């Protein structure tokens, strides 16, 4: 299990008509963008495995939007981490909040389950 604290920030952009638009965003939005990048042909999860992974991720995202903590199973975290490693746009490194959120996600420490701790005692 990996736990990632969700920090929101305001991203400013300019509309075609020159209007400045402020949008609240977080690591959840960045992950969702990277999950839209298709896996390489013949690599990654099968259709059904990917379906199940995305269903679990969707549930975790919904909980995180309320709790500000994203909790992922080890397998789901590794899947997202691999997608990030291959697909994170270099220009996001120039957005301090995005860069920090990505580094926090990549450095999330593995958490022991409470049941495992109880067994050891």
Give the C-alpha separation, 17 to 30, whole Å: 26
Q: How many domains does the chain fold into?
A: 1
- The answer to whether residue 118 is domain-embedded is no
| Distances from the Cα of 42 to the Cα of 47, 81, 84, angstroms | 11, 19, 19
DSSP conformation letters of 27-59: HHHHHHHHHTSPPPTT-S--HHHHHHHHHHHHH
- Indicate whether this model's pTM tops 0.85: no
Residue 56 lies in a domain: yes
pLDDT per residue as tens, the chain (121 positions): 999 999 999 988 888 898 999 989 999 999 998 888 777 655 666 788 888 999 999 999 999 999 999 999 999 999 999 999 988 999 999 999 999 999 999 999 998 766 545 555 5
The predicted structure's pLDDT at residue 85: 92
Q: Is residue 121 part of a domain?
A: no
pLDDT of residue 46: 75
Residue 115 lies in a domain: no
The answer as to whether 116 is a domain residue is no
User: Domain range holding 57?
Assistant: 2-110
* Cβ contacts of 29 within 8 Å, gap of 6 or more: none
In a domain, 119, yes or no: no
**DSSP at 109:** P
Please give the Cα distance from 33 to 82 (Å, whole number): 14
Q: Which two tokens stand for residue 23?
A: 């949008």
Report if residue 64 sits inside a domain. Answer: yes
């Amino acid at each position: 299990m990996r736990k990632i604290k969700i920090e929101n920030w305001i991203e400013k952009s300019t509309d075609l008509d020159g209007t400045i638009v402020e949008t609240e965003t977080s690591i959840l939005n960045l992950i969702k963008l990277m999950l839209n990048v298709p896996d390489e042909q013949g690599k990654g999860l099968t259709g059904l495995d990917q379906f199940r992974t995305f269903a679990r991720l969707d549930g975790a995202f919904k909980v995180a939007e309320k709790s500000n903590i994203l909790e992922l199973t080890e397998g789901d975290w590794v899947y997202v981490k691999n997608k990030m490693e291959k697909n994170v746009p270099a220009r996001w490194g120039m957005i301090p909040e995005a860069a920090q959120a990505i580094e926090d996600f990549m450095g999330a420490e593995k958490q022991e389950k409470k049941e495992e701790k109880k067994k050891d005692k």
